[in-house]
Amino acid sequence: MSANATGQEAIGRDATGQGAAGQDAVAGGAVAGGAVAPAPLLVELVALAHRRLTAGLAAALAEEDCTVDQWRAMRALSDERGRTMGELAQALLIPQASLSRLVDALADAGLVHRRHDDQDRRRITAHLSRRGRTRLARLDALAAAHDAAVRTACGLPDLPGLPDIADPGGPLARLAAL
């Protein structure tokens, strides 16, 4: 499968994952020129689901003028132990340069503060501020409402086993071994 300059799949899909007839291209079937699209691969289905879930979450978090990455960073810092920029970049799966700008914006807003590590003064760790915790509580409520709406819309009020997929030894860990 090839990708165009915007990173979207070039097999009869637009930026939303919709085919020319407005239906999901991942369903397989005819595409331009009468060719038959191959059945979707799991990676395509997961990518489409990720795009849609993230777009919905972004819209919900926008009510508090927050991005998904800012919310994820605040959640990662909510355990009070603090994180180095490298640890945070790895946890959020974003480049350190992008993370530095993101944390700078959170620090400028008073939601995050940086401090020297207690055991190694050369290391700087980021921590969620009291103001950040208050804001995160509001953001988490918006995210939880979005999550509940998604589960209801999908007919999946309870997704047994889904939270376990990221556990060590779970499906995502096994994927890393491929």
Domain CATH code at residue 86: 1.10.10.10
Question: Is 120 inside any structural domain?
Answer: yes
Tell me if 27 is assigned to some domain. no
Q: How far, in Å, are 36, 40, 70, 72 from residue 107 at the CA level?
A: 51, 42, 11, 15
Residue 31 lies in a domain: no
Phi/psi of residue 114, each to 5°? -110, 150
Residue 87 lies in a domain: yes
The number of domains in the chain is 1
Predicted pLDDT at 113: 95
Specify if 4 maps to a domain: no
User: How far apart (Å, rounded) are the C-alpha atoms in residues 86 and 120?
Assistant: 15
Mean pLDDT of 76-101: 92
In a domain, 166, yes or no: no
User: What does the pLDDT look like over 105-114, one tens digit per residue?
Assistant: 999 999 999 9
Q: What is the pLDDT of residues 95-147, one digit of tens each?
A: 988 999 999 999 999 999 999 887 888 888 999 999 999 999 999 999 999 99
Task: State which residues form the domain around 123.
Answer: 66-156
Give domain status of residue 142, yes or no: yes
Q: Between residues 65 and 21, which one has the greater pLDDT?
A: 65
- Tokens 């997704």 sit on residue: 159
Q: Is residue 32 part of a domain?
A: no
From residue 54, alpha-carbon distances to 20, 140, 169, 172 in Å are: 23, 14, 26, 19
User: Taking the model in full, what pTM does it have?
Assistant: 0.72
